[in-house]
Structure 1
Amino acid sequence: MSLIKSLNSGVSGLKSFQTKMDTIGNNIANVDTTGFKSSRVSFSELMNENIGGNSGGESAPSLSNQVGLGVRVASVDRDFSQGTIENTGKTTDLAIEGDGFFVVNNGNQNLMTRAGNFTFNKNGNLVDQSGNYVQGYNANDSGNILGGGTTENVRIDFENALPPQQTDEVNLAGNLNANTSTTQIVQAQSAFTDSSGNIAAGTTDINDLSQTTSDLEVGDVIEVTYTQNDGTAGATADFEYGTDGTTLDDMVAALNTDLGAQGDLALVDGMLQLKSGSLGDSELNIDSTNVIDNAGDADAVNFPGFQVTQEGETNTQTMSTTVYDDLGKGHSLLIDFTQVAENEWEYEAEFADGETISSGSTGTVTFDEMGQVTSGGNFNMEFEPGNGAGTTNFDVELGDSSQGTTFTQYSGANTAKVVSQDGYSQGSLVDISIDGDGRLQGVYDNGQNKDLAQLALGNVQNEDGLEMVGGGLFRATSAAGEVFIDSADNLSDSSINSGALEGSNVDLAQEFTEMITSQRAYQSSARVISTSDEMLTEAVNLKR
């Protein structure tokens, strides 16, 4: 009868390794199946037969002698390790990187899968290749998604238009050049020199100038005749010569007192320079310079002629954008910023098509000495768009600290511009994008994106408790434990790759190695059977 036991042991080996070969064959057959998870077979021995006690007594290493009765398949385990991510370029091809499963519904129950080769059917539902509905959370009309609750079929209405949005805020940022507008500058055509021929300094005595042909005396007057900024001619500024040692600085200071707000006179590299007292257009000029001799002895200074070296100009930085009324019609807005004084700008707004601005079209913006806005940084505009739209008003904000933008006035390039406005026209859906959190965003032809839905991911406490139901789908059994379903952003270490699929995790090298060992083990079990048969034949032949 012991030979019968060996025959049974051999048969159990044949059956077990046949199961392993079935598993290996299935793995190899699915080496290119999207989301496939390979399986492995675990063996355990069958019961042992006790063939008698050991006669060695208590000193023996064992108290009984046992012979095994063969092998059995203990379990077929599935390997849920990550498969290779393969790019496909198709937006609705999705791959999970990390833990979790896509959730689909076949009409009766939710199932889970790692195969993300989805597509939209004729009704706009996102489905898998078997027509099962992909589960997730659809957005409401405002584009808000409430995840974590009961899932629903993910559906996109491709005919739905995005309603227009009226402009509520326009944001300006960048730099206004502090030197955009210029002052009028009038400068001497030649420099004063001293008796040694050197360029005169502010401390040089007027009588020591090489241009002084006859020394000035106390009471002599230097009279400058000039044209004022507004074009009024014949204005004068006088300087009365004092005691010996009176310098060019003394003359400049006295003349500036008479000039007042009209301008500022300075000695620059030996040349007299008159700068307008205000920015912008100016007629300021020095017409003549004379010495009025107090004693009648022909005291004289040869003053050089003067010329305008820089025109006074008021310059403007123009910014433009399109704002939208409540019907979604765009209106071309132009805002001109004009520098009218140091650290002071005036703005004027208008529409290119002449829409009426009822309030907020003009104002003033001031800056401090550090180039930061001190007043006028935010203002409101209201206009009548016409064509059936209601009165539209919006805020204009110069810089936005929450967005990291600033509006400044430094001596540099004019870079100020409109960086954003929050209105838009009606939009038609032209494309769908899916981000790493599984959000399906509609891309519209008006440049806007809107959240339309978010995919749900499921997970279980024990993946080995999932039951394979075909087509890459798994059903959660009681052994799997509790099923958790939520969005990817609420599942740690899980993200979704759009335009990619997860490949099979079958390792061909490992499978071929297992195939070789299984073949040898199967052959060996067969040899046990054939050898036991031969031994039985010999036992039968003993009767002969």
Structure 2
Amino acid sequence: MGFQQGLSGLNATSRNLDVIGHNIANANTTGMKASRAEYGELVASSLGTGGGSSAGLGVEVSTVSQQFTQGNITVTNNDLDVAVNGAGFLQLELPDGSAAFTRAGELKLDRFGFIVTNTGAQVLGYQTDIAGNRLSFATNPIQLPTAAPIGANQTTAITAEFNVDAEAVVWNSVVPNTPLTTYGTSLTAYDSQGVEIPVSMYMRKVANDQWQIYTDPTSAATATASAVGLLNFGTNGLLTSTVPAALTVPITSPNPAIGTFNVTLDVATVTQYGARFAVSDLSQDGYPPGELVGVKIEENGVILARYSNGETQAAGQFAMVNFRNVQGLAPTGHGQWIETLESGQPIQGAPTEGKFGSLRAGALEDSNVDLTQELVNMMTAQRAYQANAQTIKTQDQVLQTLVNLR
């Protein structure tokens, strides 16, 4: 009797309904990948036989495969939400120290400043310098400086870009004389403790195509005690040389222990044209201490931390992994997978490098479950279940007929 075939069909179809139900239940789960039950025929074989004389033993679920297609990306505007757009997984360190991988980018900051998932797993990344350049390929949990402010940075260099008026009269050649504050600018520098120090620079024309820079207009009126240097311009209005060749500006801290320190002055782009005096750029590299106020994640995984002092510095880079056989990964729940022998070892990299996808900050990858298709699959599986049940019923009727023979 063929009860076995019908029973195997019921078991396989019931397993398929379980898979479909799991997909439907997780239609709104971030980063979830749909599964599919794949059937295989059961056939009894014996040595030395061939052809198709045997009826077969039924069906079984050979495997439940995962469908790693890209899910839709939904914008959330949450700074720590991350969607992987393309191939690859975020690398995690579970609370027990083991490794796991995920595409569910619902990330948070814990009380120690580590970037973690909803289950407490720490996200791994690469160490970078403040400009975002990767320093090594060793991965460590990503930690943002939330516990203490970043330290102050003493000003070491000033960059000035301005134009001096080629039609200006030579200083002391007219009465009344041109005020020294006519051509001047200022900025704020910082000592090693982050204390603000105002720095002023004044220019006066001492000869055709020659200008002097001073830091004190009073001193410039009588002597050259605060002179920074001399600027020489060519007939095309561009700077040809400075005296001395390397200009420095002395800055005195209000803290006597720090005293006076010299800061380099870059004036390579200064010009002398027949136009009004104008400053187009004035910057320096110092800053006071600052607290973390926000983060921004770039497409290449670099994390930019914003501080209350106006500074933006890289705080690390997300690490990504991929596998030769992603179907071999074992799901462990909560949108996480672990490595198996079938998946092979993880191939490490960073977002946008090689075949790795990019990161979309402020967004999440939706489940790739097609709800309409799953409902159709469920109806098809239901009919298959009914058909297998009918074969058992039919076999039972045949058996009853045999038993009732007289």
Q: When the two structures are superposed, what TM-score results if normalisation uses the length of structure 2?
A: 0.87
CA distance in 1 between counterparts of 2:394 and 2:31 reads: 45
Q: Which residue of 1 aligns with 2:200?
A: 334
1:474 maps to 2:342: no
Q: Which residue of 2 aligns with 1:40?
A: 36
Aligned positions of 1:70-469 closer than 5 A: 70-106=58-94, 107-138=96-127, 146-149=135-138, 151-179=139-167, 181=168, 281-282=173-174, 316-350=182-216, 361-376=227-242, 378-388=246-256, 389-399=258-268, 406-469=269-332
Unaligned segments of structure 2, at least 5 residues: none
Residues 358, 279 of structure 1: CA spacing in aligned structure 2 closer, same or farther, 3 A cutoff? closer
Question: Shift of residue 141 of structure 1?
Answer: 10
CA distance in 2 between counterparts of 1:425 and 1:155 reads: 22
Matched-pair contact (CA < 8 Å) for 2:199–2:251 = no
Matched-pair contact (CA < 8 Å) for 1:381–1:393 = yes
Q: Which residue of 2 aligns with 1:217?
A: none
Amino acid at match of 1:379: L
Amino acid at match of 2:308: D
The Cα offsets for residues 452-482 of structure 1, whole Å up to 9 and x where unpaired, read as 3333222222111111112221111111111
Question: Shift of residue 372 of structure 1?
Answer: 1.0
User: The residue matched to 2:215 in structure 1 has which SS?
Assistant: strand
CA distance in 2 between counterparts of 1:140 and 1:362 reads: 33
Matched-pair contact (CA < 8 Å) for 1:13–1:70 = yes
CA distance in 1 between counterparts of 2:201 and 2:25 reads: 69
CA distance in 2 between counterparts of 1:493 and 1:468 reads: 21
User: The residue matched to 1:42 in structure 2 has which SS?
Assistant: strand
Matched-pair contact (CA < 8 Å) for 1:321–1:418 = no
Question: Shift of residue 137 of structure 1?
Answer: 3.7
Residues 11, 313 of structure 1: CA spacing in aligned structure 2 closer, same or farther, 3 A cutoff? same
Question: Shift of residue 407 of structure 1?
Answer: 2.2
Matched-pair contact (CA < 8 Å) for 1:139–1:145 = yes
CA distance in 1 between counterparts of 2:25 and 2:134 reads: 41
Matched-pair contact (CA < 8 Å) for 1:178–1:409 = yes
Q: Give the number of equivalent residue pairs.
A: 396
CA distance in 2 between counterparts of 1:361 and 1:425 reads: 28
Question: Shift of residue 392 of structure 1?
Answer: 0.9
1:509 maps to 2:378: no
Matched-pair contact (CA < 8 Å) for 2:214–2:228 = yes
1:19 maps to 2:15: yes
Amino acid at match of 1:104: L
Residues 382, 441 of structure 1: CA spacing in aligned structure 2 closer, same or farther, 3 A cutoff? same
Amino acid at match of 1:127: V
Amino acid at match of 2:97: N
Q: When the two structures are superposed, what TM-score results if normalisation uses the length of structure 1?
A: 0.66
Higher Rg of the two aligned structures = 1
Q: Which residue of 1 aligns with 2:57?
A: 69
Unaligned segments of structure 1, at least 5 residues: 54-61, 183-277, 284-310, 400-405
| Alignment root-mean-square deviation, CA | 3.1
Question: Shift of residue 532 of structure 1?
Answer: 2.2
